[in-house]
Amino acid sequence: MKKAILSLSILTAVVFGFGNAALAQPEVTTTSKAVISIDKDVHDYGTIEQGANGECTFTVTNTGTEPLIISLCKGSCGCTVPVCPQEPIAPGASAKITVKYNTANPGPINKSVTITSNASNEPSKVVRISGNVTAKPTGGAPVNTGGPTNQ
**pLDDT tens readout for residues 79-133:** 999 999 999 999 999 999 999 999 999 999 999 999 999 999 999 999 999 999 9
Q: Are 131 and 47 in contact (CB under 8 A)?
A: yes
What is the C-alpha to C-alpha distance for residues 57 and 130, in angstroms, rounded to an integer?
Answer: 13
CATH number at residue 49: 2.60.40.10
Burial of 60 (0-12, 13-18, 19+ CB in 10 A): buried
Bigger pLDDT: 106 vs 151: 106
Q: Is residue 57 a part of any domain in this protein?
A: yes
pLDDT at 63: 97
3-state secondary structure of 121: coil
Q: Which domain holds residue 104?
A: 36-121
Residue 13 has pLDDT above 60, yes or no: no
Residue 22 has pLDDT above 60, yes or no: no
Nearest to 61 by CA among 97, 96, 93: 93
- The tally of domains found in the chain comes to 1
Q: Is residue 67 a part of any domain in this protein?
A: yes
